[in-house]
Amino acid sequence: MPSLYVHVPFCRQKCDYCAFYSHSLVESPRDLISVYFEGLEVEMAKRQKDAPQGVSSLFIGGGTPTVLNVNDLERLLAMIHRYFPIVLEAEQTMEGNPGTLTYEKIKLIRSLGINRFSLGVQSFNDQLLGTVGRIHTAGQAREAIGGLRNAGFKNLNLDLMFGLPAQDMALWQASVEEALSYSPEHLSLYGLMLEEGTPLYERYSAPSSARGFKLGNNIPRLPDEDQQAMMYEWAVKRLRQGGYRQYETSNFARPGFECQHNLGYWRGKDYLGIGPGGVSCLNRVRWKNIEEVSTYHNLLRKEQSPLDESGQEVLSLRECMAERMILGLRLEEGVHLKAFEHDFGADLRDIYRDVLERYNHQDVFVVKGDYFRLNPKYSFIANSILQEFV
């Protein structure tokens, strides 16, 4: 049984670091949302057959799903329920931004089955929020957390970012401590990444002369590699003391509150991704929908497939194995040896013998019980090791 992801490609305004596709609602006409819903319904009707027994979890992400108004949110959830039965007691997550959340919306989605909320707090410092173009304040985040708890959300995730311009250890610690004071069940800690095509990338990766010309000396400094590592390492330790388990490189949860939907991706389960930009993977075939909303809608209306130009990708056995490794080794539990052997017909220690030999003088890999895992002391520099598997 696959999991279901539904993409809402709208934001009030894009954040400076974001490389995902989304439409700014400030600029988009209102009818783009109706176009989106029309397309979504056609796609759902078409994809229903891929989940004959329903779906194992639901994740509504974006963009910013909570930018939709109450009516649209109701319409969205009703549409999902119409086409995809969700397993009883399954995890149903919605992502949202504190600046777009109202108590009315919170109550509505709770009443319509959403039982986990992932809030993009990023920081509890207004100045830092400003440096990366977030539209909300720390106060709005506090309010949103209160509202979510009041409405009965018992599974709450807070996203926090480190490595923000002008952020130092003290500011980072303050944000983490405040987050902990709300006792969220789950925390995601993401390091800021400069991705090509984003305003932040332009600001920090353009030649220094151009930068100086544009922003003078007022451009705040980015924490360097060592500072970022210290922030991360401090947080890992602090959260462990606070009773959270680091079940994935960037994700921390109280026992029993690990994100089931994301674990599905990381353990190699099948999934459906509906909506513009949504990615699906069923039986080793992966496809990605086109991101632009009107094109998505037009293609579906003409009964064509809404895939983007890269079309669908038939994953080779080798690529599937590589993905299982690069995602699995980011999990605390590691890669399940028997599941790997069951899915690919060989022991991963045979398949990757050369990689294991290259590292056998170091304590990089650990086999514990049925699992093959990465020594946690390397988890923050895992890329160079994970590269060995691709």
Partner 1 sequence: MAQASQRIRNFSIIAHIDHGKSTLADRLIEYTGALSKREMEAQVLDNMDLERERGITIKLQTVRLSYQAKDGQIYELNLIDTPGHVDFTYEVSRSLAACEGALLVVDAAQGIEAQTLANVYLALENDLELISVINKIDLPSADPERVKQEIEDVIGLDASEAVLASAKTGVGIEEILERIVTMVPPPQGDDQAPLKALIFDSKFDAYKGAISYIRVVEGRVAKGTTMKMMSTGKTFEVTEVGVFSPSMLLVDELKAGQVGFIAASIKNVKDTQVGDTITDADNPATEVLPGYRKSTPMVFCGLYTVEASDYNRLRDSLEKLHLNDASLIFEPETSIALGFGFRCGFLGLLHMEIIQERLEREYDLNLITTAPSVIYKVNTIKGEVLNIDNPSNLPKVDQIVSIEEPIVKATILVPSEYVGAIMELNQEKRGTYCNMDYVSTNRVRLTYELPLSEIVFDYFDQLKSRTKGYASLDYELSGYKETNLVKIDILLNGEMVDALSFIVHRDKSYSRARKMVEKLRGIIPRQMFEIPIQSVIGNKVIARETVSAMRKDVLSKCYGGDISRKRKLLEKQKAGKKRMKQVGSVEIPQDAFMAVLKIED
* Residue 387 in contact with partner 1, rule: CB under 8 A: yes
Of 38, 202, 292, 319, which one interacts with partner 1 (CB under 8 A)? Answer: 319
Of 22, 140, 167, 188, which one interacts with partner 1 (CB under 8 A)? Answer: 188
| Alpha-carbon torsion, ordered 196, 198, 204, 209, to 10 deg | 90
Q: Which is nearer to partner 1, 54 or 191 (CB)?
A: 191
CB of 194 to partner 1, least distance (A): 11
User: Pattern of binders to partner 1 over 123-152, x per CB under 8 A?
Assistant: ------------------------------
CB of 54 to partner 1, least distance (A): 18
* Residue 380 in contact with partner 1, rule: CB under 8 A: yes
Q: Which is nearer to partner 1, 67 or 374 (CB)?
A: 374
User: Pattern of binders to partner 1 over 346-365, x per CB under 8 A?
Assistant: ---------------xx---
Token pair, residue 177, equals 């401590």
216-255 residues in contact with partner 1 (CB under 8 A) are 225-226, 228-230, 232, 249-251
One-letter-per-residue 3-state SS of the chain: CCEEEEEECEECCCCCCCCCCCEECCCCCCHHHHHHHHHHHHHHHHHHHHCCCCECCEEEEECCHHHCCHHHHHHHHHHHHHHCCECCCCCEEEEECHHHCCHHHHHHHHHCCCCEEEEEEECCCHHHHHHCCCCCCHHHHHHHHHHHHHCCCCCEEEEEEECCCCCCHHHHHHHHHHHHHCCCCEEEEEECCCCCCCHHHHHHHCCHHHHHHHHCCCCCCCCCHHHHHHHHHHHHHHHHHCCCEEEECCEEECCCCCCHHHHHHHCCCCEEEECCCCEEEECCEEEEECCCHHHHHHHHHCCCCCEEEEEEEECCHHHHHHHHHHHHCCECCCEEHHHHHHHHCCCHHHHCHHHHHHCCCCCCEEEECCEEEECHHHHHHCHHHHHHHC
What's the burial of 321, exposed, middle or buried (CB within 10 Å: 0-12/13-18/19+)? buried
Token pair, residue 63, equals 């963009």
320-349 residues in contact with partner 1 (CB under 8 A) are 322-323, 326-327
* Residue 257 in contact with partner 1, rule: CB under 8 A: no
Q: Which is nearer to partner 1, 86 or 189 (CB)?
A: 189
CB of 379 to partner 1, least distance (A): 7
CB of 353 to partner 1, least distance (A): 17
- Helix, coil or strand: residue 200: helix
Are 305 and 71 spatial neighbours (Cβ–Cβ below 8 Å)?
no
- Binding-residue total with partner 1 (CB under 8 A): 47
Q: Which span sits near partner 1 by CB under 8 A: 28-36, 99-107, 186-194, 239-247?
A: 186-194
21-80 residues in contact with partner 1 (CB under 8 A) are 59, 61
Of 85, 191, 220, 242, which one interacts with partner 1 (CB under 8 A)? Answer: 191
Q: Which is nearer to partner 1, 24 or 362 (CB)?
A: 362
Q: Which span sits near partner 1 by CB under 8 A: 8-16, 25-33, 208-216, 319-327?
A: 319-327
At 344, phi and psi to the nearest 5? -120, -5
Q: Which is nearer to partner 1, 127 or 250 (CB)?
A: 250
Tell me the β-bridge partners of 368: 371
CB of 203 to partner 1, least distance (A): 18
Of 9, 275, 278, 328, which one interacts with partner 1 (CB under 8 A)? Answer: 278
CB of 311 to partner 1, least distance (A): 12
CB of 216 to partner 1, least distance (A): 29
Are 18 and 71 spatial neighbours (Cβ–Cβ below 8 Å)?
no
Give the binding site for partner 1 (CB under 8 A). Answer: 5, 59, 61, 188-191, 193, 225-226, 228-230, 232, 249-251, 262, 265, 271, 273, 278-281, 286, 288, 313, 319, 322-323, 326-327, 361-362, 378-388, 390
